[in-house]
Amino acid sequence: MPTNAFRISATALLALLLFGCTPSGSGPNSITSGFQDALAPLNPQAYQAVKETEARKRYEQSSADYRACLAANQADVRVCEAKRLIMETDERDVDRFIQR
């Protein structure tokens, strides 16, 4: 019969695997992403939906970052070039899901 400490540890590990835990909350190296990638063959449609949602969130964030940069640097928008490129890359990722 497992002890309470063992049960708590097992529950914490299971929660970590299911919900992930990274400083940024997501990303290609996160535990959640790895867990989803491992489960992809079991439910490919759900996997694609999760990946599409992640791509949309990245695009929305990068778009907001770019707009904020433009608002802060109206005199010299060239400062925001890197943010624009990131936004366009994220937009292409979303487009790839839409075209499928």
* pTM of the full structure: 0.58
Is 48:39 a contact under the CB 8 Å cutoff? no
Q: From the CB of residue 51, how many other CB atoms can be counted at a distance below 10 Å?
A: 17
Domain ranges for the chain, please list them. 4-98
Is 31:19 a contact under the CB 8 Å cutoff? no
Determine the Cα–Cα distance for residues 54 and 16; give it in Å rounded to an integer.
19
Block residue for tokens 């529950």: 11
Helix axes 4-19, 31-39, angle to 10 degrees: 80
SS3 percent helix, strand, coil of the chain, rounded to 5, is 75, 0, 25
Is 52:93 a contact under the CB 8 Å cutoff? no
Q: Print pLDDT tens along the chain (100 aa).
A: 456 655 665 665 555 555 554 444 445 545 555 655 665 667 777 778 888 899 999 999 999 999 999 999 999 999 999 999 999 999 999 998 888 6
Predicted local distance difference test score (pLDDT) of residue 63:
97
Query: What 3-state class would DSSP assign to 63?
Result: helix
